[in-house]
Amino acid sequence: MRRLVFNQDIRPMSEFRAGVASFLKQVRDTKRPIVITRHGKGVAVLLDVNEYETILEKVELLEDIQTAESQIEKGKGIDHEKAKAQVLKRISK
């Protein structure tokens, strides 16, 4: 996901209501999120669907890494050769 351009990507709710289609086009074209504000405070973020899916995939990967690290700390890990053998066995089926 690209970084916000503050003077373009933070917009009030009133502008969003008046120009939803143009906001959707901007998000699709720039791949940047838009922060929608109400009374000067952020209330929502509009994201391109593909960007949102990418974020979810990254979060899931980070959660898997955290789980794996926790399991290793608890002594539940297996050595490389055993893991490799298990993966190759699954693939060959």
* Whether residues 11 and 41 fall in one domain: yes
* Whether residues 54 and 40 fall in one domain: no
0.85 surpassed by pTM = no
The predicted-structure confidence for 56-67, as pLDDT tens digits, reads as follows: 999 999 999 999
pLDDT band, residue 79 (cuts 50/70/90): confident
* Whether residues 42 and 53 fall in one domain: no
Q: What percent of the chain has pLDDT over 90?
A: 80
Q: Residue 11 CA to chain centroid, in angstroms?
A: 21
pLDDT at 92 over 90: no
41-46: strand order across its sheet: 10-12, 34-38, 41-46
The predicted-structure confidence for 41-56, as pLDDT tens digits, reads as follows: 999 999 999 999 999 9
Query: How many independent structural domains does the chain possess?
Result: 2
Contact predicate 11/23, CB 8 Å: yes
Kindly list the distances between the CA atom of residue 64 and the CA atoms of 55, 60, 81, in Å, as whole numbers in the listed order: 14, 6, 20
- Tell me which H or E stretch contains 78: none
